[in-house]
Amino acid sequence: MIVVLGMALLGVILGVRTARKRNGSGADMAQYAAGYGIAFALVGLVISLVLVRLV
């Protein structure tokens, strides 16, 4: 569970940074944060499932 939350947080941070770099508004930052957060959480879920299966 920690892996999923950590990856989601990392995705949110990267999403906000990307939107700021592209001179986006607050709504753009929120949308990028949500999109990246969801995508990274899914990757974290896959990593978590692989780790559980291997251990």
Residue 1 has pLDDT above 90, yes or no: no
Q: Is 24 left (phi over 0), alpha (psi -120 to 50) or beta?
A: beta
Residues in Cβ contact with 45 at an 8 Å cutoff, skipping those fewer than 6 apart: 4
Give the predicted TM-score (pTM) of the model: 0.89
Domains of the chain: total: 1
What is the pLDDT at residue 8? Answer: 97
What is the pLDDT at residue 18? Answer: 97
Range of the domain at 11: 2-54
* Per-residue pLDDT tens digits for 15-53: 999 999 999 999 999 999 999 999 999 999 999 999 999
